[in-house]
């Protein structure tokens, strides 16, 4: 069964109108507002923004894909960040990452089919003393072993 939803341009049009005229220097705030409204930056919304502002689509799309703060695909309800930094690596982050990928059925940057989780790999979470460590949304889980992953994920619906 196909469950495709039609994307409403209404939030985008409202934001563009509020920020108009949009200059080159206002591209990032514009994209941030659009992402806040949609949860990510759908290509159709970027195209609409280009048409309405008169800025080239290639410019808007280029900025959106350059900065890691922007997502071009929808994210899951929860973001799992798996640290692969040196401190975590020497304490077994590879096994933790493998367990996460197995449990979620997606790789780095992937989102589960039920839109529950998006998995991301990061260079350091700034809590090396907890190695190996992952974050789920704003919660830290440290000194992890692969067999603890299921229990951690089960607490997020
Ligand atoms: S290396 Fe993993 S938290 Fe710093």
Tens of pLDDT along the chain (157 residues)? 444 568 899 999 999 999 999 998 999 999 999 999 998 999 999 999 999 999 999 999 999 999 978 989 888 999 999 999 999 999 999 999 999 999 999 999 899 999 999 999 999 999 999 999 999 999 999 999 999 999 999 999 8
pTM for the whole thing?
0.72
What pLDDT does 69 receive?
85
What pLDDT does 6 receive?
81
| Greatest Cα-to-Cα distance within the chain, rounded to the nearest angstrom | 54
For residue 142, report the distance from its CA to the centre of ligand 1, in Å: 10
For residue 29, report the distance from its CA to the centre of ligand 1, in Å: 30
For residue 138, report the distance from its CA to the centre of ligand 1, in Å: 15
Q: Which of 90, 124, 140 has most ligand 1 atoms within 8 Å of its beta carbon, as the pocket-test mutant?
A: 124
Exposed/middle/buried for 82, CB within 10 Å: 0-12, 13-18, 19+? buried
Strand order of the sheet with strand 78-83? 117-122, 78-83, 134-136, 139-141
127 lines ligand 1 (CB under 6 A): yes
135 lines ligand 1 (CB under 6 A): no
Count other C-beta atoms under 10 Å from residue 64's C-beta: 23
What pLDDT does 60 receive?
97
Ligand 1 atom having least distance to the Cα of 84: 2
Structural domains of the chain in order of their starting residue, each with its CATH number: 10-66 (1.10.10), 78-154 (3.40.30.10)
124 lines ligand 1 (CB under 6 A): yes
What pLDDT does 73 receive?
87
């Amino acid at each position: 069964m196909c469950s495709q939803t039609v994307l409403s341009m209404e939030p985008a049009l409202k934001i563009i109108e509020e920020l108009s005229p949009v200059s080159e220097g206002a591209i990032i705030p514009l994209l941030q507002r659009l992402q806040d409204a949609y949860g990510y930056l759908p290509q159709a919304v970027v195209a609409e923004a280009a048409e309405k502002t008169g800025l080239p689509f290639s410019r808007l799309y280029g900025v959106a894909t350059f900065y890691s703060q922007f997502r071009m695909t929808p994210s899951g309800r929860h973001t799992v960040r798996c640290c692969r930094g040196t401190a975590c690596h020497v304490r077994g982050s590879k096994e933790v990452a493998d367990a996460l990928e197995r449990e979620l059925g997606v790789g780095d940057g992937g989102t589960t089919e039920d839109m529950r989780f998006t998995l991301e790999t990061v260079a350091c979470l700034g809590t090396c003393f907890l190695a190996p460590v992952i974050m789920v949304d704003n919660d830290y889980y440290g000194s992890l072993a692969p067999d603890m992953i299921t229990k951690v994920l089960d607490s997020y619906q």
